[in-house]
Amino acid sequence: MNIINREIYTDRIMPFVGKGIIKVLTGQRRVGKSYILLQLIKEINESDSNANIVFVNLEFEEFRQIKNDSDLFAYLQDKFILQKTNYLFIDEIQEITGFEHVLRSLHAKNTCDIIITGSNAKMLSSELSTNLAGRYIEFHIQSLSYAEFLVFHKLDNNHQSLMLYLTYGGLPYLSNFPLKDEFVFEYLRNVYFTIILRDVVQRENIRNVDFLETLLHYTADNVGSLFSANNISKYLKSQRTDISTPQVISYLRYLSNAYIINKVVRMDVNGLKKFEIGEKYYFEDIGLRNCQVGFSLQRDIHKLIENAVFLHLKNMQYDVFVGKKDAKEIDFVGIKQGRKLYIQAAYLLSDEITQKREFGNLLSIQDNYPKYVVSLDDFYRESEYEGIKHLNLREFLLNTNL
């Protein structure tokens, strides 16, 4: 099996291997969590000749009998070897009811080093935080970054490659297909319906599936726009769909729990106050967004640029917010370890009005943290304007020193 190592994750995770803490890999289905487990297993085997690896993949037929904690205890009973360094890997652990009881027991007895994956934020956060608080560390796995996309698809860094990334997104398995609509979107639609069915409809016992799909379509069509559950409810009523505001909020939460969309709240740049209304939503994978909205690259390009900037900031481990400075909006405020950066994302800085708006919003912020305007322009008359850097989107997505 040819596995392309995603060092950005293995380099973060390996220092915690063997340190008595449970490693939890979270993320949307099909973003490559299983392959990262295989990469970790390979590195452990290379560095520890005494390793005994126990690998449970709940998507494999041979593990279908493991439904609950009792089943898992029974399966693991004779799998650990006393004279060995034991490692337990469990893929898609949310499929096991009561899994947290097994992990707590194994961890308390120091039986093995534990690494798990899961595809439901609500289930993992509630079960782990309640039963294993302080005993685990989470690593969120995203679909391929633009840099990884180039490696997986053996592409050069040019405008055409960027457009392919903005069209098809970064699910790793796409490297097995020609990058053409008839192949890629068929695969993406199948992944999309699998996630919706297994991680949203079945897990949340949703009855109104038509509304769920309507809401997701609305969210996809309004990427980067300020949201209000009340306004969505009004819109749906205009479409003869009578859904209450609390139901809208619940369904958006279900989609976020399945890592399909990401909620980004607004904050006041001056006082770092967070606002309870007026959030934005971005997709975890751009291709999954595009496969189900009647996608047009020309029409949607500004939305995709924003979504790509958001994903890169998350990939760089920033907490991301929408900024508000008086009456001005800042597309992104990134915060990491006490540091901040500000970003305006635009399609093209084609006229003076656009330039004044994008740079002017950032100039209104009176601090010394880095500020960027990111666009598709190949060049700008100045790469820096009054301390604000202007970057082409490709340059920004390959920048790992933000």
pLDDT of residue 125: 75
Q: pLDDT per residue over 322-350, tens digit each?
A: 999 888 999 999 999 999 999 999 999 98
CA distance 306 to 299: 14
**Is a pLDDT exceeding 60 seen at residue 5?**
yes
- CA distance from start to end of the chain: 34
Q: pLDDT per residue over 118-162, tens digit each?
A: 998 877 777 787 888 889 999 999 999 999 999 999 999 999 999
> Which of the four pLDDT bands, split at 50, 70 and 90, describes residue 380?
low
For residue 93, what are the contacts with CB-CB under 8 A and spacing of at least 6?
58, 99, 116, 117, 118
pLDDT > 70 in the chain, percent: 98
Domain-wise residue ranges, the chain: 7-140, 145-402
Ramachandran bin of 139, using left for φ above 0, alpha for ψ from -120 to 50, beta for the remaining angles: beta
Long-range Cβ contact pairs of 378-384 (< 8 A, separation 24 or more): 378/159, 380/349
Token duo for residue 221: 């069509």
Q: pLDDT per residue over 245-285, tens digit each?
A: 888 899 999 999 999 999 999 999 887 677 767 899 999 99
State which fold the 7-140 domain adopts: Rossmann fold (3.40.50)
pLDDT of residue 268: 92
pTM over 0.85, yes/no: yes
**Is a pLDDT exceeding 70 seen at residue 46?**
yes
**Is a pLDDT exceeding 90 seen at residue 104?**
yes
Ramachandran bin of 259, using left for φ above 0, alpha for ψ from -120 to 50, beta for the remaining angles: left
Token pair 């969309």 is found at 261
**Is a pLDDT exceeding 60 seen at residue 33?**
yes
